[in-house]
Amino acid sequence: MPRKFFEARYIPSGAMLPTLEINDRLLVNKFVYRFQEPQRKDIILFDLSEDQLQSESTFIKRIIGLPGENLEVKAGRVYVNNQPLQEDDYIAERPLYNWGSEQIPANSYFILGDNRNNSYDSHYWGFLPKDRIIGKATKIFWPPNRIGVIE
């Protein structure tokens, strides 16, 4: 049976607003991380372990912190290694919570939804192991007025 390198997904919630809207249809590249490491700001498809699950089994969120980095959320900002992360171009609003300061373990990532205050993400369940990443969201293919590459 041929292996799938791309997978179509839809957005069921507002956790990634304003970047991804409810009912957007996406293409997820399931092959890209065989050739490169996940990068900060990549939007990824992943699944959670049984003890992290709330309701869904797969999620789409943005990578914010990389292995070995120190991450903290305070006073409405995300700090990576004590430096504020520039992200005004993609978040819905500044986070209304504090998290950390913690070092991200090897082979793990810190993942947040762009709609920071309405997203079930790392600030709830902790770090995402690399082996839980399914792929990188690369393109919106539906609806027609939103077709384009995901930045």
User: In the chain, where are the structural domains located?
Assistant: 6-64+109-149
Average pLDDT over residues 39-67: 84
Q: What is the mean pLDDT of the chain?
A: 92
Residue 52's pLDDT is 52
Query: CA–CA separation, 18 vs 32, rounded Å?
Result: 25
CATH fold for the domain made of 6-64+109-149 = Umud Fragment, subunit A (2.10.109)
Q: Which two tokens stand for residue 60?
A: 């789409």
Q: In the block, which residue shows the tokens 């959320």? A: 73
Radius of gyration (C-alpha) of the chain in whole angstroms: 15
Say if residue 120's pLDDT is above 60. yes
* Single-letter code of the amino acid located at 5: F
Average pLDDT over residues 17-33: 96
pLDDT digits (tens, 9 = 90+) for 69-88: 999 999 999 999 999 999 98
Of 22-26, 57-61, 110-114, 130-134, least confident by mean pLDDT is 57-61
The DSSP-derived string for 45-66 is: EEE--TTT-SS-SEEEEEEEE-
Query: CA–CA separation, 142 vs 40, rounded Å?
Result: 25
The DSSP-derived string for 30-45 is: SSGGGTS---TT-EEE
In 48-132, beta strands by DSSP E: 58-65, 70-74, 77-80, 83-84, 99-103, 108-112, 128-129
Contact status, residue 122 vs residue 110, Cβ threshold 8 Å: yes
What are the helix (H) ranges across the chain?
A: 122-125
